[in-house]
Amino acid sequence: MIKFLKNRYFKTVFLLVILVIVSRESANAVDDNPLEILFIGSSYFNYNDLPSLVENMANNSGKDVYIGSYNRVGLLLDQLVSLDLVEEKINERNWDYIIIQGVGVTIAYPDFYAQHQAYPALVEFEEKIHENCESTRMIFCLPWAFEDGMTWVEGWTDTYEDMQNIIYDKTIQYSDEIGFTIAPVGWAWYQVLDEKDYPLHYLHMSDWNHPSLKGSYLMACAIYSSIFIESTEEISYYAELAESDAKYFQNIASNIVLSDTTLWKISTYNDTTLASTDSTTNIPDYSNKNKTFLYQNYPNPFNSYTQIKYELQNDGFVKIEIFDLTGKKHFTFTEQQKAGIHSFSFDGSKLQSGIYLYNLKTNENCQLKKMQCIK
């Protein structure tokens, strides 16, 4: 009897051990499935090996990723999307994310670069990506402007700031119409350069165009936060930059991405994840259908231009005013508008340094926020 019990005991223990091992192997099998990310672009991705920067950030934060890339020097979006090799790369596997890189000039000035239309190319990318795998997230990197804007073209006066604001508006428009997610790379560049008072060849190379290592690292931070919906500020991989510089870029990029995930359409694919983070502080409260929502302007503080965005739950009359702390009005806008998200770029180049107030009045309520102008 004792022998029988011993045998039964050891058999039970043996089975439990087997179950634990199988459970651990099953768990590891799930954990060992890397996040599959494909980069498609040109020399902007080749400089400083941008895909490797993102991969190293992910590895440093304990994330398992598989990185693929097809980056061809000198090609624009319409040329890339037409290549058989690009289509083969898209169809190679069921990618979790495909990161697309364009060039700012074709986004900002489609009439000037009529032979290289970015909009239909992005539509075609979206179609090819989802024909291969419906769940793949297409992320387009909001481009940066040339360091000297378009002033290098005879008769053109658009500065870096002018060009960057046009790129921003066009990218938001295209994203709204096509549905892709945005990694706000160029917008992060704008804030850094504005805060640093536009140092020459800081994020740009000496060709006024391609990214320096600092520019590539900032781009990698914006892409990382757009994919994982989390800050890069705990990452200790600095890509040969000074730690202080890397930490600064991490802070800027992460804050821009996470402060408005709705604007960048990150929540389109990640509603469940977003609900458990603090990154949705700018998402409107829909508990009251008659409530409007006024977003914080961006950038803030600003030097000349800043973006003001608001959401209307109903069609109706809209009035926006901007005034200083003495009560003097500097801007008034009134219009009958449809329900939905609206935004405009406010030109504050003539304002003095100081705190300003901007309010949104509708038929339902009035909202007020502060912003700061720094000269």
Render pLDDT for 76-123 as a digit per residue (tens, 0 to 9): 999 999 999 999 999 999 999 999 999 999 999 988 888 899 999 999
Confidence at residue 368, expressed as pLDDT on a 0 to 100 scale? 78
According to the 3-state scheme, what is the secondary structure of the chain? CHHHHHHHHHHHHHHHHHHHHHHHHHHHHHHCCCEEEEEEECHHHHHHHHHHHHHHHHHHCCCCEEEEEEECCCCCHHHHHCCHHHHHHHCCCCCCEEEEECCHHHHHCCCCCCCCCHHHHHHHHHHHHHHHCCCCEEEEECCCCCCCCCCCCCCCCCCHHHHHHHHHHHHHHHHHHHCCEEECHHHHHHHHHHHCCCCCCCCECCCCCCECHHHHHHHHHHHHHHHHCCCCCCCCCCCCCCHHHHHHHHHHHHHHHHCCCCCCCCCCCCHHHHHCCCCCCCCCCCCCCCCCEECCCECCCECCEEEEEEEECCCEEEEEEEEECCCCEEEEEEEEECCEEEEEEEECCCCCCEEEEEEEECCCCEEEEEEEECC
Q: What is the pTM of this model?
A: 0.66
**Matching residue, tokens 């804050």:** 255
Of 51-60, 136-145, 290-299, 354-363, the range with the lowest mean pLDDT is: 290-299
How sure is the predictor about 267, in pLDDT bands with cuts at 50, 70 and 90?
Answer: low
Domains and CATH numbers, the chain: 30-275 (3.40.50.1110), 293-373 (2.60.40.2550)
Please choose, from the candidates 228, 212, 193, the residue with its C-alpha nearest in 3D space to the C-alpha of residue 99.
Answer: 228
Rounded-to-integer distance, Cα 308 and Cα 299, Å? 9
| pLDDT surpassing 70 at residue 69 | yes
Quote the percentage of the chain above a pLDDT of 70.
85
Confidence at residue 32, expressed as pLDDT on a 0 to 100 scale? 58
Q: Look at 8 and 136; give whichever has higher pLDDT.
A: 136
| pLDDT surpassing 90 at residue 129 | yes
Rounded-to-integer distance, Cα 69 and Cα 12, Å? 50
Question: Mean pLDDT score of the chain, rounded to an integer?
Answer: 84
State the average pLDDT over residues 36-60: 96
How sure is the predictor about 346, in pLDDT bands with cuts at 50, 70 and 90?
Answer: very high
How sure is the predictor about 301, in pLDDT bands with cuts at 50, 70 and 90?
Answer: confident
Torsion of CA 73, 79, 85, 89, to 10 degrees: 90
Confidence at residue 340, expressed as pLDDT on a 0 to 100 scale? 86
Confidence at residue 362, expressed as pLDDT on a 0 to 100 scale? 84
Of 116-125, 216-225, 276-285, 346-355, the range with the lowest mean pLDDT is: 276-285
Q: Model confidence over 174-216: pLDDT tens digits?
A: 998 898 999 999 999 999 999 999 999 999 999 999 999 999 9
How sure is the predictor about 12, in pLDDT bands with cuts at 50, 70 and 90?
Answer: very low
Provide the edge-to-edge strand list for the sheet that holds 293-294: 293-294, 305-312, 340-347
Find residue 98's DSSP bridge partners. Answer: 38, 138
